[in-house]
Structure 1
């Protein structure tokens, strides 16, 4: 482009990402231009809400390069962004504002950063709501040690029913950590709910969907979260609202918790108005957080001293699996409590394993997350190397998905990396916490964990760069910085 001005429609490219349709806008006062001699412009990328300072040699005129840059692309979010900017171009040619929002709010300009417009109450552009795609599952015939959905106590597999999920169509920033807890609709499963009263503490990314699964299958549920508004969807669906962890424990027979780290578990159990203050003989406490063995045993001892029963039950799966009730649950501890939780586990997961003595579930979960974190970091590093070597990253991903390395991690995390879209399915800071905990196990057993140690350093770097609350796939930005 010979001359770039505020308001121009362009194609712009951030390091590590393909050219994307955007618009030159005026940055907010607190968004400073990076230091350096390169001429740069501030670009708002359509269809994402993202902004970035971009070097002038990475900016192209939209109309002039439209044909060549659109050619061959089948990515839906990319094509949606193109349609959005084409619509803005058509409106401008007719003498209208670029978006209809500018007509309804004269004081708001599309040239303003989204954060300013959000403060002014501008509404997001409506999009078509995707239809849920039903998944077909074949009944498994393999014998295993998990609870069946058909008959309590028998060690056999059953047909797993997946609830219909209605996803929110609201657009979010590529770096948004917002989740769809309040927009997910659950279809009740064929579960015979226990007559015991159930409590659920911690309605974060995972806990909110797990609690909703319990409510949707007919359980009598009381919920609590430090931030009360996170309880609203579950309460609207039929749950009761507790005022504190101790209040929930007093009102319920079995209490589940799912929080971020060992410190958070200790806080809700031992802290002021915590679980211990409401615990009494016969009540059960099931912690589904990913924590270390020492914390598991510490909490178990404290609960049992009050006459309660304790079960550790960390889960394997992401936010998507939690929404669908398709988690894999790893339980250890009090066997009687494990059996009492049958219908609850049946509601939240597709398989539940009983792993014996306390600590075994935590160790298994951390080892699995070590593998996940190491593989995700390796995938991000491979895509970075491909870009630096002048290769097409999309082609590499396509080849990977046709090879023996094809898996959900390559598909989901690869797509997140290429699209620059990191809503927190598994927050980076949580993965770094898990890597740190598994390295402690290796240290105690004098087992070197070279690959996990290197991956942990990359996650630590991403966390230090401010990506902690974004999905762990954002480790790509730390590698490619």
Structure 2
């Protein structure tokens, strides 16, 4: 049962991306912002020592206060522990002691604000405000058929100001277009209203150890005697860890969501007990592992792992001496070189290992691994690469693997946009997309990657099997464009494709497979 906390308790609160931070549970005031999207989850309003910030923290992310070794902590975190201890000491001396808190200054997340603005604009686009009807008055100076029936035909005469006139009032009729319109383009609002409903992307399916790796392949691998630390248990990371465990490697794991670590440990212990240990910080992983493997979401998080609070490189100058560091995160060459410098400055060996393949290929252990950096580390980790992939390449100095990975990803990204636009054109022409798929599969265009995406487009199911999320695809497109800016290489088609992916993300398709770019090209 979770421990109950109350106002005035000194605790350690965990925020996303940070180690547990000394904090004080305080009473919300009239200026305290609402809980936002986590309103229904039990949480406390806390004041963070040291940083002097406030925030709503879920109860599951709050733990009793304990002191920590200060040798490896950042200066700000050390200051937070000092302030927390001073408050505890003064409270013991004087039970009525009240800490003078700074005013609450909490700004709304820019990302949440941008999301609300996008939703408001989308509502206005779907349900535009009704315009008042326009009335026109026409002065008729002669007879109108159907309204007057003159007995005699009289020649037209010039009307003077004294001639009586007839006034007619009528509403302006709105133009009604056919379903396809004169040019094959229908009304925007109608199209958006008819857009198929896409349910929320499901959470990652529960891990099943029996699904990972090929038994015959695992039996051929002689596991390394080294202990491997793994940071990041996303779609690719969790699959790689499972294959390492099944092939007999000892693994230490860390993830920002501890529940994922516990699930993997439980399933691993059920088959091979003692092969997995879980830790609370990247620094703990580094201290207890021979080789550290990082597989997180983007370059920002990759840097945070090596230079943030309680990071891999938080120890002394030679804290990584004799240890290896493998970066599997999809990053750009400059970030990879920065991480290499940090690891090398601590005495470690660095290897970038970019992977090509989907989540399903990671589950099957059929990834293609592209490496560059320390060749000795590459040779020492052959058993790891065999467990996770069907082949591994060593491409030379740091940066070549990341460049190769970005080039391959923009080829896939551009091909996918072309596929989506082709199926959108077929739909607009009144053709059956199923028939087009059958023909497509008989041509030389057919390959596993495009065939899988075409199947998703025809079924319009982009959530049940997410091989590569659209935000990750767009991230790689952007990194490739950044690289092209540095070397002044124009990428005209890549730039256009990137805009299509960006528009798809604005429609709220993050978390779904990249094939959902079809929804943007069609509507």
Q: Quick check: TM above 0.5?
A: yes
Change (3 A) 1:396 1:272: same
- 1:467 partner SS: coil
| Contact kept in structure 2, 1:175 and 1:422, CA below 8 Å | no
Displacement after TM superposition at 1:181 (Å):
5.0
Change (3 A) 1:414 1:56: closer
1:363 partnered with 2:397: no
Q: Which has the higher contact order (CA 8 A, sep 6+)?
A: 1
* Partner in structure 2 of residue 346 of structure 1: 386
Structure 2 unmatched runs, 5+: 1-122, 131-189, 270-275
- Distance across 2 between alignment mates of 1:425 and 1:55: 27
Q: What are the equivalent positions in structure 2 for 1:177-326 lying under 5 Å apart?
A: 177-183=202-208, 185=210, 186=212, 188=215, 189-190=218-219, 191-236=221-266, 237-238=268-269, 239-278=276-315, 279-326=319-366
- 1:314 partner SS: strand
Change (3 A) 1:350 1:57: closer
Give per-residue Cα distances to partners, 1:184-236, cap 9 Å, x unaligned.
52354121110000110000111011111111111010100001112233212
| Contact kept in structure 2, 1:177 and 1:422, CA below 8 Å | no
Q: What are the equivalent positions in structure 2 for 1:42-441 lying under 5 Å apart?
A: 175-183=200-208, 185=210, 186=212, 188=215, 189-190=218-219, 191-236=221-266, 237-238=268-269, 239-278=276-315, 279-423=319-463, 424-441=466-483
- 1:357 partner SS: coil
- 1:307 partner SS: coil
Displacement after TM superposition at 1:35 (Å):
2.5
- 1:256 partner SS: strand
* Partner in structure 2 of residue 444 of structure 1: 486
Change (3 A) 1:58 1:326: closer
- Distance across 2 between alignment mates of 1:272 and 1:304: 19
Give per-residue Cα distances to partners, 1:408-435, cap 9 Å, x unaligned.
1222111111212113221111111100
Give per-residue Cα distances to partners, 1:371-410, cap 9 Å, x unaligned.
0111111111111111001111111111111101001122
Q: How many residues align?
A: 324
| Contact kept in structure 2, 1:208 and 1:231, CA below 8 Å | no
Give per-residue Cα distances to partners, 1:127-172, cap 9 Å, x unaligned.
xxxxxxxxxxxxxxxxxxxxxxxxxxxxxxxxxxxxxxxxxxxxxx
Change (3 A) 1:455 1:231: same
| Contact kept in structure 1, 2:209 and 2:242, CA below 8 Å | no
Flag as ranges the 4+ runs of structure 1 deviating above 2 A: 32-37, 53-59, 173-181
Root-mean-square deviation (CA, aligned residues, Å) is: 2.5
Change (3 A) 1:321 1:245: same
* Partner in structure 2 of residue 102 of structure 1: none
| Contact kept in structure 2, 1:281 and 1:306, CA below 8 Å | yes
| Contact kept in structure 2, 1:292 and 1:363, CA below 8 Å | yes
- Distance across 1 between alignment mates of 2:430 and 2:284: 60
- 2:501 partner SS: helix
